[in-house]
Structure 1
Amino acid sequence: ALGGAHAKLFASRGANVVVNDLGGDAFGTGSGTSLADKVVDEIKAAGGNAIANYDTVSTMDGAQAMVKSGVDAFGSVHVLVNNAGILRDVSFKKMSEEDWDKIFEVHVKGAFCTSKAVWEIFREQNFGRIINTTSAAGIYGNFGQANYSAAKMSLIGLSQTLALEGAKYNIHTNAIAPVAGSRLTATVMPPQILEKLKPEAVSPLVGWLCSEECKENGALFEVGAGAFFHLRWQRGKGFKTAQESGVASIEELRDNWSKVTDLSEAKTVKSIAESTGSFMA
């Protein structure tokens, strides 16, 4: 639902769109062509231009084939929206190695493979936009989703690093945490809530972040139901040991724990350089 909404918005603005969907279910099993074909048919019926692609994004061969289909059809590629996702929700006690690996295969390796497949093209043309789809489960954690939460947090780190490496080539990478009705959220949200969370309400943010005009890079946003929020890390004032060696005792840490955990004077930390510098002050 989210991917389809994004694709239709891009097409309505004149973009040539590759709609990729392996066609499996929400749990990562099966395959088929109907999901991608349906979106392409709707785009064409509205006067847009799109092709379907059914390759898996969780292998380099699949991701490269997907990108090649777009280049062959349209000449190049300028935007990548990583939206592929599945669920294997289960408590950590019951979680299998397969439950863990399958989630990382689709969400994390999938984003790696697709981003790698477009990276050289983006560098050579000095333009590219990547959107990685994370989740509130990754930002805050969620019961029964240890695998999904860890994978979604991984995408934030990937996004921030690609933003740094791509900046001088005009490649901007941002992450969004959507709250919207989809095949995945339908498994965890009641229908009356889903009705208010239209996937189409997320797509304008994706469209703006991917525009030439937008200079945002390396950012994280929560989005849904017409609301848009920018998130950043904050750090408290903290505590530094008085010991000349720089090694605090457990007791000293215990006695100053309220200072360590005090966020009343928290400040935003914007980079790893800024973070590391705090330890040297």
Structure 2
Amino acid sequence: MKKTKGRQHMGVLDGRVAIITGAGRGLGREHALQFAAEGARVVVNDVGGSASGEGTDSDLAHEVVAEIKAAGGEAVANTDSVSDWAGAQRLIETAVDTFGDLHAVVNNAGILRDRMLVNMTEDEFDSVINVNLKGTFAVSHHTARYWRGRSKQGLDADRVIVNTSSGAGLAPGVGQTNYAAAKAGIAAMTQVAAKELGRIGVRVNGIAPLARTRTTDATPGLSERLAEPEAEQEFDVYHPRNVSPLVAYLATEDCPLSGHVFRVVGG
């Protein structure tokens, strides 16, 4: 067991630096809290927009950082949009400038703008693709370039990307042409990146989670299915915190897995 800044660690992510995008609420927030509890130093990224990507609220990322610090962890906020090319670069720089390195990236940020194909506007399609698919690409691209540079310097270390696909991308339903296309693309991107980046020690996996979030609350039929249990003692199958332990495991140095997309729900 080692000691860092007055805090004792025995977590499986002890000493690792991680970026979690879309970490102000829902799955991302739970990932950030889980990673910090396991000893990681966390960059909490969130623009604080609505579920449909409108507006901003920089307080959200800072509130999660405050929660992590109150529990004895280390974290810093970043409010850049992952869909902004320069913003994605600044996100990587935030991790490196603050904590000196970067070991894991969890691409979680996403928005939802459901509409039937014949009614979907160009903006509704483009905005979902930009945040979900381009955002995953932009952050992964800048991260990979940083890691390639480290590798050329002989500074090899275990590096990890965890992407967030969805059941909507693996078994699409109606009304989600934009979202399903983005999430299916993320699943394919995960496998390509795993093959390309493995030679520099980077593992890339994905998750297709099912949990109660703003996104599922906005999806007809899912909000009722994923409702909170009526009895307090009943296990809350769809709480987003149930997904985070798998994500944390995929980010550990000893995890051998790469090129997989995991369907994860409940316990």
- State whether TM-score is above 0.5: yes
| Partner SS for 1:3 | helix
CA deviation profile, 1:186-242 (whole Å, cap 9, x unmatched)? 11223562323011100011011111111100001100111xxxxxxxxxxxxxxxx
Is it true that 1:217 corresponds to 2:250 in the alignment?
A: no
The 1:185/1:63 distance shift into structure 2, 3 A limit, reads: same
User: Equivalent residue for 1:206?
Assistant: 247
User: Equivalent residue for 1:110?
Assistant: 135
Is it true that 1:79 corresponds to 2:117 in the alignment?
A: no
Q: Which has the higher contact order (CA 8 A, sep 6+)?
A: 2
Distance 1:190 1:138 in 2: 18
Distance 1:121 1:211 in 2: 19
Larger radius of gyration: 1
Larger mean Cα displacement after TM superposition, 115-124 or 75-84? 115-124
Aligned 1:63-102 pairs, distance under 5 A: 63-102=88-127
Aligned equivalent of 1:53, options 66, 74, 78: 78
Distance 1:24 1:190 in 2: 20
User: Equivalent residue for 1:137?
Assistant: 168
Larger mean Cα displacement after TM superposition, 104-113 or 181-190? 181-190
Q: Is the 8 A contact 1:180 1:194 kept in 2?
A: no
Count of residues paired in the alignment: 226
Gaps of 5+ in 2: 1-25, 229-235
| Partner SS for 1:52 | strand
Q: Is the 8 A contact 1:108 1:154 kept in 2?
A: yes
User: Equivalent residue for 1:29?
Assistant: 54
Q: Is the 8 A contact 1:176 1:222 kept in 2?
A: yes
How far has the Cα of 1:67 moved from its partner?
1.1
Is it true that 1:165 corresponds to 2:196 in the alignment?
A: yes
User: Equivalent residue for 2:227?
Assistant: 194
Distance 2:199 2:227 in 1: 40
**TM-score, normalised with respect to structure 1:** 0.78
How far has the Cα of 1:122 moved from its partner?
2.1
Q: Is the 8 A contact 1:160 1:173 kept in 2?
A: yes
Amino acid at match of 1:12: A
Distance 2:141 2:91 in 1: 12
How far has the Cα of 1:45 moved from its partner?
1.0
CA deviation profile, 1:122-143 (whole Å, cap 9, x unmatched)? 2324331001100000001111
How far has the Cα of 1:152 moved from its partner?
0.3
Amino acid at match of 2:142: A
Q: Is the 8 A contact 1:18 1:53 kept in 2?
A: yes
User: Equivalent residue for 2:40?
Assistant: 15
**TM-score, normalised with respect to structure 2:** 0.82
* CA RMSD across the alignment: 1.1
Larger mean Cα displacement after TM superposition, 123-132 or 201-210? 123-132
| Partner SS for 2:61 | helix
CA deviation profile, 1:41-88 (whole Å, cap 9, x unmatched)? 111111111011100110220001111111111001110000010001
Aligned equivalent of 1:6, options 21, 31, 34: 31
| Partner SS for 2:252 | coil
User: Equivalent residue for 1:242?
Assistant: none
User: Equivalent residue for 1:147?
Assistant: 178
| Partner SS for 2:50 | coil
Q: Is the 8 A contact 2:165 2:206 kept in 1?
A: yes
Distance 1:208 1:151 in 2: 25
